[in-house]
Chains A and B, each alone.
Chain A
Amino acid sequence: DADVTQTPRNRITKTGKRIMLECSQTKGHDRMYWYRQDPGLGLRLIYYSFDVKDINKGEISDGYSVSRQAQAKFSLSLESAIPNQTALYFCATSQLNRGRRTDTQYFGPGTRLTVL
């Protein structure tokens, strides 16, 4: 979805390097998320944010940190990258539909990260 952009799209780095993945959205959504996808596994939530002042850990937050610089921007950092962080990373946004108590998540195109 072009409304959610991620940079870079591909990155190869070495063990121990600090890496930042960036996500921007033009959908005006309050909620933003970072996921990782590994072959044969479902997407797993790393961090999520419901507004600029709200940051929450997901199920696999160890080794990662995030920053919500503005409503439209949510970045993911790997302070010291390790090979098992090699994966496809997705940013997503959503806005709660209070009537149906659901929110559809819109995903970015993904960042393929390789840690050597």
Chain B
Amino acid sequence: KNQVEQSPQSLIILEGKNCTLQCNYTVSPFSNLRWYKQDTGRGPVSLTIMTFSENTKSNGRYTATLDADTKQSSLHITASQLSDSASYICVVSGGANDYKLSFGAGTTVTVRA
């Protein structure tokens, strides 16, 4: 069973609008949580990484939040642009083995003009 669940599976938004993606995880113990952006036909690129003590992290128009108590994270995209069309992947690292990552299946975001 996947230990990282993302919702929604896909969404369509109009350019300029905001959206929020959700990630719930059951990975334990917890080390850190990452959000990656994957453009079609390309490898994932890191957007943010948050450790246990961090509850928010921004990267330009992307803001990630983390609630380690409820094991939930969100990625908020502000003022979306056409270039934001991509798959967004939530990745959780557990325990001392930081290299062992659990990947969500991703949320596909389509931004339309």
Where the two chains meet, the residues of A that have a C-beta atom closer than 8 Å to any C-beta of B are 1, 4, 31, 33, 40-45, 48, 50, 90, 92, 94, 96, 100-110
Contact = CB atoms under 8 A, between A and B. Distances in A.
23 contacts: A1-B45, A31-B99, A33-B99, A40-B105, A41-B2, A41-B105, A42-B2, A42-B103, A42-B105, A42-B106, A43-B101, A44-B103, A45-B100, A101-B32, A102-B49, A102-B93, A104-B46, A105-B46, A107-B43, A107-B44, A107-B45, A109-B42, A110-B42
A88 to B, nearest CB: 9
Nearest to A107: B43
Contacts of A48: 99
A42 B38 CA distance: 12
Contacts, number: 59
Contacts of A110: 41-43
Interface of B: 2, 4, 31-32, 34, 41-46, 49, 51, 89, 93, 98-106
B50 to A, nearest CB: 9
A104 B2 contact: no
A4 B31 CA distance: 26
